[in-house]
Amino acid sequence: MKKQMDQYIEELVSHLKPLEAVERDEVINFYQEYLEDGGFTSYDACVTELGTSKQLARKILADYSIKNLSEPESKTSSRSASKMPQAQVRTIWLIILALLSTPITIPLAMGVIGILFGVIVTVLAILFAIVVVFIAAVVVTVVAVFVGVTLLTSSFWTAIFYLGVGIATIGLFLIGLPILIWIIKGLIRGTLNVSTWLYGKITHKNKAEERGAR
């Protein structure tokens, strides 16, 4: 029977590869000790108590990701600020997977995912708009500067006008880009806050976590 429990633990280990080795070992030791102390030696008993290894792993990954993002900056100094939005997007994705992995929360999760999907589509649309604006700005700048330079000897003031348009386009883009980036980061951060709040309301600690909290 213990071999069946070991199979469950081995599957859990394989699903927790995204975790760092130290964190993964702590989690595995915790749940292995819980299953052994509770006498859950058969595979089915482990699943009945904690859910499938994949379901449990998704919850663990979501919990760890949320925990890491909520740590004080002094503890996360190694994480570059430029990588923070990527970590936030990853956490949102892990939360979605964790919600979908629990049958009880699937109806609620679908509604949550619908909202998150709408936000994600909005973010992607803004990203697409940024790319389009960037390409347009480059084209306008190149054309304006080229025309301006070619007209310098034949029509000075017309050349100055085109050069001015090129410079103005560059200036507007440089001013607008930080604002657009700020908006995107704000949307991601807002989506993370909403998804984290909903995750906390919908999901609950499993029996092992409840025992560990005592």
Residues 95, 194: contact at Cβ < 8 Å? no
The reply to whether 10 falls in a domain is yes
Q: What is this structure's pTM?
A: 0.71
The reply to whether 89 falls in a domain is no
Same domain? For 116 and 186 the reply is yes
Is 213's pLDDT higher than 70?
no
Lowest mean pLDDT among 4-8, 113-117, 132-136: 113-117
Which residues constitute the domain of residue 182? 110-202
Confidence band for 184, pLDDT divided at 50, 70 and 90: confident
- Report the distance separating Cα 91 and Cα 79, nearest Å: 15
The contacts of residue 154 (CB under 8 Å, 6+ apart) are none
Q: How far apart are the first and last CA of the chain?
A: 29
Q: Where does the chain have alpha helices with state H?
A: 2-15, 21-38, 43-50, 53-70, 84-101, 106-150, 156-202, 207-213
Count how many domains the chain has.
Answer: 2
pLDDT value at residue 117: 77
- Report the distance separating Cα 174 and Cα 126, nearest Å: 17
Same domain? For 168 and 209 the reply is no
By CB atoms closer than 10 A (0-12, 13-18, 19+), residue 95 is buried
The reply to whether 124 falls in a domain is yes
**Residue written as token pair 């213990």:** 2
The reply to whether 152 falls in a domain is yes
The reply to whether 97 falls in a domain is no
Same domain? For 182 and 209 the reply is no
Is 105's pLDDT higher than 70?
no
Task: Give the mean model confidence (pLDDT) for residues 162-169.
Answer: 85
Task: Give the mean model confidence (pLDDT) for residues 7-34.
Answer: 91
Confidence band for 10, pLDDT divided at 50, 70 and 90: very high
- Report the distance separating Cα 205 and Cα 27, nearest Å: 14
Task: Give the mean model confidence (pLDDT) for residues 80-97.
Answer: 80
Lowest mean pLDDT among 6-15, 107-116, 174-183, 187-196: 107-116
Same domain? For 130 and 66 the reply is no
Same domain? For 130 and 196 the reply is yes
The reply to whether 39 falls in a domain is yes
The reply to whether 101 falls in a domain is no
Same domain? For 184 and 209 the reply is no
